[in-house]
Amino acid sequence: MNSPLQTPKGTHDLLPEDFRYLDFVQKTVEKRLKDFGFGRISTPVFEFKDLFVRTSGETADIVEKELYAFASASGKEYALKPEGTAGVVRAYIQHGMHCLPQPVMLYYLEPHFRHDRPQAGRFRQFYQFGFEIIGESDPALDAQAIALAHGIHEDLGIASRLSLQINSLGCAECRTKFSAALQEFYFDKKRSLCETCQTRLEKNPLRLLDCKEEDCHLLASLAPKLSEFICPDCHTHQAQVEEFLDELGISFQKNPTLVRGLDYYTRTVFEFWDEKEGAQNAVGGGGRYDNLIKKLGGPETPALGYAGGIERIISHIKSAQVSLPAENAPQIFLAALGQTAKVYGLKLLEELREAGMRAVGVLGKSSVKAQLKLADRYQTPFTLILGQIELNNDSIIIRNMKKGSQESVRLKEVVKVMKKKLKQ
């Protein structure tokens, strides 16, 4: 039943515990990307619907079945963004970025929306990080993009759980010849195809190879192979990408059936799959899209990119039991007992924070027991206890929570003493 007090199907709240993971992923991703020279971009959550139709292609699932489209009161058609490449490419053209030194390297980390059937690892609102390298056709860039994604997985502690699949989809010429061969092959088999594939045959025959229906899948295994139609230039490009990957020590599987679900790809495509589950729930995917910018009305500009699904990455981080850095956890809990101690405590908390320590306390509970219970919850290595007796003596108690030992120090010394203790 739909209840306004529940998140809509396929969406979820991100609670502080979730942000421990999200922050870890974000920091790790941004460190790699910034070291590489990428700049951050954010495009609107919604754009004109036509942008997504023209970018991904009308037969792409994310357009045909999964677009959250809506019309404004004046009848303009918009859609929530199902992926990041369309918006980034639109921004590249809109802001005349072809005049900047090429390649232009942009990254994003944002929620995206697909009206997919929710299941494990498949949501209607999900986070993606992605990067686009626009303005360069050299295969060294393809290898570097793949190495970058692999490096991010290594930093996140999940690289060994993933297998890299790569393929070449060739250029427009290879694809035209291949599409014609497919249409010929399927000419007298059309009735054995599912309804969707019958439409695909006319609009985008390549997508027939991607269908999971049993009959379509069987026919696809007998159909001509794209690799037979790859022209010498595309072949050389792919061979160089593979050579660079070998040099970089990145292992991969050549997968001639990898076509990706979006129409804009040319030449290199790649995905990172779960070692065990395979194609289901890929952690990320990307590839070259050398014709897209021209197709959308910009100058002829080669480009490539990648996007990773953050929920799926986090699920791997959890399964691999990667320990997260605890760098933001509070270090000191201050238990202040009584009104005067609270007033003094607030000042002391500020002094501790200004001296660079992470301190919490004076949280309203009055009894010692309740305050120490709170200190336990924060798992701070130290608790400071300030009551009337301590105030009368101009002192404060420092309790070492791990050792269970405690000592009394002079109030005006406590910031200095704590700084020293935390350094140790």
Residues of this chain that interact with ligand HAM (CB under 6 A) are: 83-85, 114, 116, 121-123, 126, 128, 130, 132, 282-287, 305-309, 311-312
Residues in the chain: 424
**Toward ligand HAM, which CB reaches closer, 152 or 374?**
152
Our CB check for ligand HAM shows the closer of 130 and 361 to be: 130
- Continuous H helices in 68-138: 85-94
Residue closer to ligand HAM, measured from CB, 170 or 308 = 308
Give the helix, strand, coil percentages of the chain, each rounded to 5: 45, 20, 35
Tell me the pairing of strands 104-113 and 77-80.
Answer: unpaired
Amino acid letter, 388: Q
H-helix or E-strand spanning residue 10: none
Q: How far apart are the first and last CA of the chain?
A: 56
Minimum CB distance to ligand HAM smaller for 210 or for 311: 311
CA angle 64, 311, 278 (to 5 degrees): 70
Q: How far is the CB of 278 from ligand HAM (least distance, A)?
A: 13
311 touches 318 (CB < 8 A): no
User: Between residues 305 and 345, which has the closer beta carbon with respect to ligand HAM?
Assistant: 305
Q: How far apart are CA 272 and CA 252, in angstroms?
A: 9
CA 361/CA 358 separation, integer angstroms: 11
Residue 264: CB minimum distance to ligand HAM, A: 8
Q: Which residue is closest to ligand HAM by CB? A: 309
Give the Cα separation of 47 and 90 in Å (integer).
10
CB 165 → ligand HAM: shortest distance, Å? 11
Closer to ligand HAM by Cβ: residue 308 or 361:
308
- CA angle 89/95/100 to nearest 5° reads 90
CA dihedral 346, 351, 357, 361 (to 10 degrees): -10
Whole-angstrom Cα Rg for the chain: 28
Between 186 and 270, whose beta carbon lies closer to ligand HAM?
Answer: 270
